[in-house]
Amino acid sequence: MWPSQMIDGSRDSRNRRRVKENGASQLQPSVPSTRTPRSSNSPPATETHKLGPLPQIYASQFGWPEMVATVARVYNSLPLGVRATAIFAQNYGQAGAIDLFGPKFGLPWAISGHQSYFLWGPRDYTGESMIVMDDSQERLEQLFVSVQKVASVYHPYSMPYEHFDVFYCRGLKQPLKELWPQLKHWD
């Protein structure tokens, strides 16, 4: 279904009834739409930040394959015995990119405290070994015994807040399941 059809309801069968007219069957809306049609070329109002060279609707996803490839290089450089490593993303966009592009690199599913990803919890990860995306060295040193900056993510056409460092962290100072409720955020 095309976006313009979703807006004006031209293909929405849930809100229609059959009417016989001149012997032909037609679908008509049973309740008039109160939506104001907008151009199918304009981005949703929530994705209109002008922080980079591209509109946010494109820039928010630009660089995802490169980001995942960067994380994969870190993950695949770990010794085989440490591959039970969690990949922690700060937001659902990063986590979704790992989950979408990661299988071709052999990456595990990402974990994140952002929005609905929080509900899936830390899975079976303990925090003993984690790749953490988009955080600060100082904050991570408060949480882990060992923190090492191992990569940076940057793409000239992505949103500026999608340029970040990647850390390899070991020895979470408290069990991940106990820390998990503090990681929830909905912004």
pLDDT of residue 65: 94
pLDDT of residue 123: 94
State the SS3 of the chain.
Answer: CCHHHHHHCCCCHHHEEEEEECCEEEEEECCCCCCCCCCCCCCCCCCCCCCCCCCHHHHCCCCHHHHHHHHHHHHHHCCHHHCCCEEEECCHHHHHHHHHHHHHHCCCCCEECECHHHHCCCCCCCCCEEEEECCCHHHHHHHEEEEEEEEEECCCCCCHHHCEEEEEEEEECCCHHHHHHHHCECC
Q: Return the domain boundaries, the chain.
A: 3-42, 59-183
Per-residue pLDDT of the chain (187 residues; tens, 9 = 90+): 333 333 444 444 333 333 444 444 444 444 444 445 555 666 555 555 566 777 777 777 788 999 999 999 999 999 998 888 999 999 999 999 999 999 999 999 999 999 999 999 999 999 999 999 999 999 999 999 999 999 999 988 887 778 999 999 999 999 999 999 999 999 8
pLDDT of residue 61: 77
Kindly report whether the global pTM for this prediction surpasses the value 0.85. no
